[in-house]
């Protein structure tokens, strides 16, 4: 695994009102690795993921991507990263209900100015790869939970991102569908050399990671080495 980190959090703190969610959290993510952030509810792991991805700005500390300081970037620059270099999978998919599953997967490319035919061709390839091409013409409400989450994974991968952020991606699924989504997500990310930052409270889901960092009270308390 390359020694140079791709994404770094250094002493990151974040509060919401009087509640401190992060308290000097630090970690590194290397290219191509799957990193699991674990810990009890309220430990700060999802807040850190949002700071790492530029969705939230920390109150103090620094987040850098490829050596560039995310905390010093403009909103426009961070948005550009989220459209291209970063992909996202959330617990409930957050697909656009008015679009077909194929159109949902193609959407990040369309927003980047890619022609519809090319974007949808690329989207269809990913739906095949993720074993869910049968729902391409359906709207998300017509797909099962497991199918919808695989569509969300395809959407996260469509721009060939350098980092995929997955926040409880199997939390709304039964164990069988959750295992399938994780297997496909990790395999597809590894094929493309994408790093994955995974938030989960489930040990079986964390077991898909190369490395695990446990959180408590907004800080890393245990970091397990790469397998």
**Domain span at 64:** 7-85+161-224
Q: Dump the DSSP string for 48-89.
A: HHHHHTTSS--SEEEEEETTEEGGGS-HHHHHHHHHHTEEEE
The per-residue pLDDT string of the chain (227 residues; one tens digit each, 9 = 90 and over) reads 445 899 999 999 999 999 999 999 999 999 999 999 998 888 889 999 999 999 999 999 999 999 999 988 988 898 888 888 999 998 777 899 999 999 999 999 998 899 999 999 999 999 998 889 999 999 999 999 999 999 999 999 999 999 999 998 888 888 888 888 898 889 988 888 899 999 998 889 999 999 999 988 888 777 665 55
pTM above 0.85, yes or no: yes
Residue 98 in domain:
no
List the CATH number of the domain containing 188: 3.40.50.300
Which residues have a Cβ under 8 Å from the Cβ of 57 and sit 6 or more positions away?
Answer: 51, 71
DSSP-derived 3-state class of residue 117: helix
Strand segments, DSSP code E, in the chain are 7-16, 19-29, 34-38, 60-65, 68-69, 86-89, 163-167, 195-199, 211-216, 219-224
Residue 35 in domain:
yes
Number of structural domains in the chain: 1
């Amino acid at each position: 695994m390359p020694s140079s980190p791709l994404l770094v959090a250094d002493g990151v703190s974040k509060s919401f009102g009087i509640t401190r969610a992060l308290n000097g959290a630090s970690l590194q993510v290397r290219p191509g690795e799957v990193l699991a952030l674990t810990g009890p509810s309220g430990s700060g792991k999802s807040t850190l993921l949002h700071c790492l991805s530029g969705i939230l700005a920390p109150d103090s500390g620094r987040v850098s991507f490829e050596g560039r300081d995310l905390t010093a970037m403009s909103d426009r620059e961070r948005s550009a990263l989220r459209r291209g270099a970063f992909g996202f999978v959330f617990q409930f998919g957050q697909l656009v209900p008015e679009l077909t599953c194929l159109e949902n997967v193609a959407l990040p490319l369309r927003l980047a100015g890619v022609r519809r035919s090319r974007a949808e061709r690329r989207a269809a390839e990913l739906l095949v790869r993720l074993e869910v091409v049968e729902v391409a013409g359906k709207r998300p409400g017509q797909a099962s939970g497991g199918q919808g989450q695989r569509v969300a994974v395809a959407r996260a991968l469509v721009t060939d991102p350098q980092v995929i952020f997955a926040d409880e991606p199997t939390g709304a699924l039964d164990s069988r569908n959750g295992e399938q989504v994780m297997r496909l997500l990790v395999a597809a990310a590894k094929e493309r050399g994408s790093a994955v930052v995974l938030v989960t409270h489930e040990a079986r889901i964390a077991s898909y990671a190369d490395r695990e960092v446990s959180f408590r009270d907004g800080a890393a308390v245990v970091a397990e080495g790469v397998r």
